[in-house]
Amino acid sequence: MNVTTWLAEPFVILGMPRSGTHYLEALLNQHPEMHSGGELLNTYDENWSNKDRLLLPDRELLAYAYRSLPPIDKNVLRIGCKINEPQFEERPGFFDELAGWPGLRVIFLKRRNTLESLRSLVQARQSGKWLKLRSIHDAAPPPSVRLRIEDCEIYFQKAEQFLSKVRASFAPSNLLVIDYEDLISDTNACLSHVLKFMGLAPLQRVLETAIERQETRPLERSIQNYDELRLHFQDGPYSKFFDDPCQRVEL
């Protein structure tokens, strides 16, 4: 362990699956003073050198994440990791340990349309393709999917409950909530906001990543039973997810 790593301030990127957290992390890792190690609770994430890290107790696992050696070509002032909501369910008690970590800054990335997040998650599970890189030329769109009403209801509720839990667990000064749609539409402005929240000076260059958008079709074309879902939710709080048929693209 070196002094620079020990003094680096901790942060975490939180969100529902397929809400752009991987994209945001890749962008932030282009910053010379920031480093996020990847999905801390994901067994299959190859970014972590300790492949047996999940055998560690909760506090030791967090200590491993926030006190690991950063890349040698960086002067890291902010060190972090990424965790998606379902991973907390697999490790009870870890969220409370995270919430109690001293000086932790939290970036919560959410989608204004949670249906897009669920659609993308089901697409990735069915196709096995979780990312699209510029170096891989594949013009074929992800498969269209059929979503069950009960799965939509559960997912929508989980997304709301997760954000509420995060807001209740962290001081407003230590929490930054970002809409995925803003990150995509004005990436530079959104990243400047993140760097300000982190207490870092803005960069003069544009941060970029090799990750490309996977889905460019609107929801009504990428969800086979879109009309069925729209009719079911039209009189409830989730009707807003069906208000605009021209949905935004995603990563």
Q: In 3-state terms, the chain is what percent helix, strand and coil (to 5)?
A: 45, 15, 40
Per-residue pLDDT band at 249 (split at 50, 70, 90)? very low
3: in domain: no
Note whether residue 79 is domain-resident: yes
The number of domains in the chain is 1
The pLDDT of residue 126 is: 87
What pLDDT does residue 138 have? Answer: 62
Assigned domain for 134 exists: yes
Cα(first)–Cα(last) distance of the chain, in Å? 35
pLDDT tens-place string over residues 72-102: 677 889 999 999 999 999 899 999 999 999 9
If one compares 187 and 206, the residue with the highest pLDDT of the two is: 187
Give the C-alpha separation, 242 to 38, whole Å.
33
Structure tokens at 110: 């959410």
CATH number at residue 187: 3.40.50.300
**Structural tokens at position 24:** 């945001």
pLDDT of residue 139: 66
Q: Is residue 69 assigned to a domain? A: yes
CB count, 10 Å around CB of 71?
A: 9
Question: Look-up: residue for tokens 């196709």?
Answer: 127
Is the per-residue pLDDT at 2 higher than 60? no
The average confidence (pLDDT) of the chain is: 87
Distance CA 201, CA 111 (A): 27
| pLDDT, tens digit, 9 for 90 and up, residues 212-226 | 667 678 999 999 999
8 A C-beta contact, residue 79 and residue 8: yes
pLDDT 10s digits, 99-113: 999 999 999 999 999
Tell me whether residue 217 is in a domain.
yes
Enter the pTM of the model: 0.88
Q: What is the pLDDT of residues 123-141, one digit of tens each?
A: 988 887 766 656 556 667 7
- Judge whether 73 lies within some domain: yes
Task: List the domain range (segments joined by +) for residue 133.
Answer: 9-247
Section 189-205 average pLDDT: 89
Q: Answer whether residue 2 is part of any domain.
A: no
Q: How far apart are CA 221 and CA 215, in angstroms?
A: 11
In 3D space, the residue among 166, 155, 157, 62 whose CA is nearest the CA of residue 109 turns out to be: 166
**Structure confidence at residue 247 as a pLDDT band (50, 70, 90):** very low
Looking at the domain assignment, is residue 4 inside a domain? Answer: no
